[in-house]
Structure 1
Amino acid sequence: MKIGVTTFMTDEGIRPAPLAKALEERAFDSLFLHEHSHVAVKQETPFPGGGALPRVYYRTLDPFVALTAAAAVTDNLVLGTGVALLVQRDVIHTAKQVASLDLVSGGRVIFGVGTGWSREEMRNHGTDPRTRGKLLNEQLAAIKEIWSKDKAEFHGEHIGFDPIFSWPKPVQRPHPPIYIGGDGEAALARVAAHGDGWMPHSVGHPARVPPQLNRLAEVAGDKPVMVASVSARSELIAAYAEAGADHVALSLPTQPEPETLRMLDMFAALVSDYR
């Protein structure tokens, strides 16, 4: 089982380059970054984690800028979005950003995508929360066309463009792995139809791990699972390893560099048996 971290990269925490170097030095497999473009001043959608919206949501760096900085100082670290809120993004620009990151990193990208939860954030990007699932499905199909065709075009209900040229193409073929974020039935159906893997949140308790992973097999068959935001607890990590998870990303708090490096040393000791 591969082990990396997932985190909120902000202007108040460790910078991308030293974090990426520290991860690779400690033999971690990957770095996955969350994305939120902004927080609406009048935020009415309840935070899924309960309570007040954490400070990191207000200060998140653009994941592709941060991952490019990480790519420049590493050789083997997998670079991923966990997840990119694609329904709030321009599909042509995003296809180019992911392909460019895959090129400059030498083919080390995992593209994690999701629909998001903040209705206010979506609306500010012109996205109708009621149709975000259908929009995401079309975006994924359109991006694959851009990545795979010299002359790409797409005509759907929500996304449409006449033939275009767009380079670079990704290094990875047929394209960087697309992992679908989310825990509900719609996300699982999207994995089956459009994804190369599933990126659920950690369930938090070892006894709930086998039922969680069994749900994927029932819907999408034998596709890889990368579990995001896993608490750094030995019994939970062991449960995911035993249940057959391909990849877990430990939840790394957003802190300044000295505190982060100490936390990574603790993580490395915790997962030494899985190397």
Structure 2
Amino acid sequence: MLEEDANAGYRRLFDDDGLTFGAGFPLTGTNRSTPPIEEELRLASHAESVGFDGLWARDVPTYWPKFGDAGQTFDPWVWLSQVAAHTDEVALGTASIVLTLRHPIHVAKSAASIDRLSDGRLVLGVASGDRDPEFPAFDVDRNERGQQFRERFEAIQALWREEYPELEGEWGRLEGDLDIVPKPTAETIPMLPTGQARQSREWIAEHGDGWLFYHLPERTLEDYVADWRDDAGEKPYAMAIRVDLADDPTAEPEPMHLGYRAGVEWYRDYFRRLEEYGVDHVIVGLESEDPEEALSRFGDEIIEV
């Protein structure tokens, strides 16, 4: 259930009975090298103007060519501070901060800083990590990811809510003589575990402010959302999908990795079904040689219809 004191970003994404849409960086599609900064920022402003409710940045600490991409390349905290300065009201999301590779004090301070700089627009997707070579690079035991994720998740929440907290975990210890500032605009910043995050669905439902998942076949997705509702009630369910809009508006879907190539008519029906299943927000990764045109077309022919 949406809390009355939730921050502005969470309300923008989820304080509505209908399905909302976000766009995932890099908006130019350049994900193996540094994307053009001014173009990305211009497209971010454009996405907001055509009706997208969220802009999402990934956390990819290192580039592993075997995995296939480097996200939007820039550190998500630094990048989202730039995006905040070039947009007005759109939610700013992370999809997702890898808690096992980041110290919780750094996460708490960085996230609260972005939240303050953006007037409360930050929503955090958080994850346990999935790029195997990164764990030894950060001296992290990948087999302990589940416990580390839980401890850091709970520590970050305490660092936002408490003054001079007394906390201890595998990450370190606070003895009540240090505080973390700034605090968020609301009591806390919403955190959505991503995928399974090495946790049970019941744990995610109890501790998370929602659930962020990947593209799934429709029948599987319908079951996932139904099970989520049983455990989490009205807490939001968000998902990511790659979208390639065919020139022919009547084109039937062609599956591609984590999404479909299809006409806008099929996509309108598809998103209506997602809304009926109980999906609250969709992060769209648009595939196009003309990103501005694709954002405009998605906004005009899908979001606004």
**How far 1:268 sits from its partner (Å)?**
1.3
**How far 1:194 sits from its partner (Å)?**
2.1
Q: Structure 1's 131 and 184: CA in aligned 2 closer, same or farther, altered over 3 A?
A: closer
Q: Which runs of 5+ in 1 are unaligned?
A: 42-51
Instruction: Indicate if the aligned counterparts of 1:16 and 1:67 stay in contact, CA closer than 8 A.
Output: no
Find the partner of 2:191 among 164, 174, 178.
178
**How far 1:138 sits from its partner (Å)?**
0.7
Q: In 1, distance between residues paired with 2:221 and 2:242?
A: 11
Per mean C-alpha deviation after superposition, the further-off stretch among 102-111 and 148-157 is: 148-157
Question: How do residues 1-275 of structure 1 correspond to structure 2 at under 5 angstroms?
Answer: 1-8=19-26, 10=31, 11-13=34-36, 15-40=39-64, 52-54=66-68, 56-57=69-70, 60-163=73-176, 164-172=178-186, 174-183=187-196, 186=199, 188-203=201-216, 205-231=217-243, 234=267, 235-253=269-287, 259-273=290-304
Instruction: Indicate if the aligned counterparts of 1:137 and 1:190 stay in contact, CA closer than 8 A.
Output: no
Instruction: Indicate if the aligned counterparts of 1:101 and 1:109 stay in contact, CA closer than 8 A.
Output: yes
Q: In 2, distance between residues paired with 1:240 and 1:187?
A: 23
Instruction: Indicate if the aligned counterparts of 1:145 and 1:153 stay in contact, CA closer than 8 A.
Output: no
**How far 1:187 sits from its partner (Å)?**
5.3
Residues 150-200 of structure 1: per-residue CA shift (max 9 Å, x gap)? 21221134543322211110002x211111101477252342232100001
TM-score, normalization: structure 2? 0.77
Residues 31-86 of structure 1: per-residue CA shift (max 9 Å, x gap)? 01111110358xxxxxxxxxx532x3277211111111110121111000011111
Residues 194-249 of structure 1: per-residue CA shift (max 9 Å, x gap)? 2100001121x333331121121233333111112353551432221121211111
3-state SS of 1:99 partner: helix
Q: Which runs of 5+ in 2 are unaligned?
A: 1-18, 245-261
1:69 partner letter: Q
1:12 partner letter: P
RMSD, aligned α-carbons: 2.4
Q: In 2, distance between residues paired with 1:68 and 1:227?
A: 24
Percent identity of equivalent pairs = 27
Q: In 2, distance between residues paired with 1:178 and 1:4?
A: 16
1:215 partner letter: D
Q: In 1, distance between residues paired with 2:282 and 2:235?
A: 15
3-state SS of 2:22 partner: strand
Instruction: State how many pairs are aligned.
Output: 258
Instruction: Indicate if the aligned counterparts of 2:26 and 2:35 stay in contact, CA closer than 8 A.
Output: no
